Amino acid sequence: MADDLILRNAHVIDPSQDINRIVDIHVRNGTIAGLGESLPAPAGAREKDLSGCFLSPGLIDLHGHWYEGSSFGINPDLCLQHGATTVVDAGTTGFVNFPEFRATRMAKTRIEVLAFVNVAALGIPTAWMGELEDLRFARPKETIEIIEENSDVAVGVKVRMRSGHSHAAFGLALEAAEATHVPLMVHIGPTAQTADILRRLRPGDVLTHCFEGRGDGILDGGNLLPEALQARKEGVVFDVGHGCGSFSWATARKAFELFFYPDTISTDLHRYSVERWAFDMPTIMTKFLHLGMSLEEIILKSTWMPAKVLKREHQIGTLKAGTVADLFVFSLEEGEFPLEDTHMKIETASRRIKPRFTLKAGEITEAEHIPNLLRKLRGPDYDVFKFLHETA
pLDDT given for residue 370 in this prediction? 76
Q: How far is CA 115 from CA 62, 80, 118, 155, 356, in A?
A: 9, 17, 9, 6, 27
Q: Is the pTM of this model over 0.95?
A: yes
The CA-atom distances, in angstroms, between 374 and each of 93, 105, 126, 147, 246 are: 19, 15, 16, 29, 21
Q: Count CB atoms within 10 A of the CB of residue 21.
A: 10
Region of 344 on the Ramachandran plot (φ > 0 left; ψ -120 to 50 alpha; else beta):
left
| 204: number of Cβ within 10 Å | 18
* Strands (E) located in 131-248: 154-160, 184-187, 206-208, 219-220, 223-224, 237-239
Distance CA 57, CA 283 (A): 17
Burial (CB count <10 Å: 0-12, 13-18, 19+), residue 48? middle
Question: 217 CB contacts (<8 Å, ≥6 apart)?
Answer: 188, 189, 192, 194, 209, 210, 211, 251
Question: Residue 369: what pLDDT?
Answer: 77
CB distance 323 to 314 below 8 Å: yes
Measured distance CA(345)–CA(335) in Å, rounded: 19
Superfamily (CATH) of domain 58-309: Metal-dependent hydrolases (3.20.20.140)
Strands 19-28 and 54-57: unpaired
Measure the CA angle with vertex 118, ends 304 and 234; round to 5°.
45
Percent of the chain that is helix, strand, coil (3-state, to 5) = 25, 30, 45
Domain boundaries of the chain, sorted by first residue: 58-309
Radius of gyration of the chain (CA): 20
Could you read off the pLDDT tens digit of each residue along the chain, which spans 392 residues?
Answer: 679 999 999 999 999 999 999 999 999 999 999 999 999 999 999 999 999 999 999 999 999 999 999 999 999 999 999 999 999 999 999 999 999 999 999 999 999 999 999 999 999 999 988 999 999 999 999 999 999 999 999 999 999 998 778 889 999 999 999 999 999 999 999 989 999 999 999 999 999 999 999 999 999 989 999 999 999 999 999 999 999 999 999 999 999 999 999 999 999 999 999 999 999 999 999 999 999 999 999 999 999 999 999 999 999 999 999 999 999 999 999 999 999 999 999 999 999 999 999 999 999 999 987 777 899 999 999 999 998 998 88
Q: What is the pLDDT of residue 210?
A: 98
Return the pLDDT at 220: 93
Dihedral over alpha carbons 184, 187, 190, 195 (to 10 degrees):
30
Number of H helices, E strands in the chain: 10, 17
Q: So what's the pLDDT on residue 128?
A: 86
Query: At 215, which amino acid appears?
Result: G
- Look at residue 1 in the predicted model and tell me its pLDDT: 61
State residue 3 phi and psi, 5-degree precision: -100, 110
Asked if residues 241 and 266 have their Cβ atoms less than 8 Å apart, the reply is yes
Predicted local confidence at residue 392, as pLDDT: 81
